[in-house]
Amino acid sequence: MKHDFRYFFREGIRNMFSHGFMSFAAIGVTVACLVIMGTFSLVAYNANENLKDLQKENAVLAFVDENLSDNEAKALQSTLEKIPGAADCTFVSRQEARDSYVEQYDEDDLYSDLDPSIFRHRYVIHLTDAAQMQQVVSDLEATPGIVKVRADETISNGFLTVRNVASLISIALIAVLLVISVFIISNTIKLTTFDRRDEIAIMKMVGATDGFIRWPFVYEGLLIGLMGAVIAFGLQWLLYEAISKGIAGSDTLQLLRVVSFRKIWGPVAGVFGLVGILVGVGGSLTAIRKFLRV
């Protein structure tokens, strides 16, 4: 039998409006689930992006033993580059360290005659993953010729904690909320099928296939899921922009970089749409299954 898209779509809309309150409730639950899921996922995403920036800017400093000669100090680079988790390793001489210090802190030429010998040769090391900072620091401290290691683990650990907690909450909420959404949509469509049980029985008696009976309900679930996804996407965009402006206007939080929603709206819309469709279609198939067994 030919798939009559217009007929099934029209029947799906009619089914959806036949129980307006339950359909509205199903859409509302889907919206709430998607917004909550999206919010925690975007928090985890932004925490991960800030971690990447932190890896570029927050380097580990490894100070070389003063007793080593210039050549011996430079020879350590090949050893340090082999440490797992080290993305790059840059040698900074005493003179370069002195010049950098003077440029950063000498506003009144107080340090213009500062002797470079009071500084140590050092290495600036960036990491492939901020989560490996503690291990990299331990490996550096155990390296012969390195006498001191400086790393700001507090900020890095803070971002790691936020990212990991947000990721775990997102996964847990996705699982729980999707089940709730499927359950609500399934019950909504069950009402429609219950009202039409006599019609369904007659259609089966005259030879209608299960597919012909099933498709209007599938379209109903699809429409509910899509409407929920569209509304949730709009609300998520407004919420994200409001939070971004709040962070930008805060004196304590403006150091955080919030990715512009315009750069990620495509993937977010795609995920919302896909989840909405899966939830809607899954709910409709769950609801209609037992009626087709009759």
Q: What is the mean pLDDT of the chain?
A: 79
Residue 230 vs residue 55, higher pLDDT: 230
260: nearest Cα among 77, 46, 76, 51 = 46
- Give the model's pLDDT for residue 237: 93
How do residues 190-241 score in pLDDT, each as one tens digit? 766 676 677 677 777 777 777 777 788 788 888 888 998 999 999 999 999 8
Residues 221, 12: Cα–Cα separation, whole Å: 8
Q: pLDDT band at 294, cuts 50/70/90?
A: very low
What CA–CA distance (Å, rounded) separates 257 from 103? 27
Cβ(277)–Cβ(225) under 8 Å?
yes
- Write out pLDDT tens, residues 104-142: 665 556 666 778 788 889 998 888 777 778 888 899 989
Phi then psi for residue 10, to 5 deg, are -65, -40
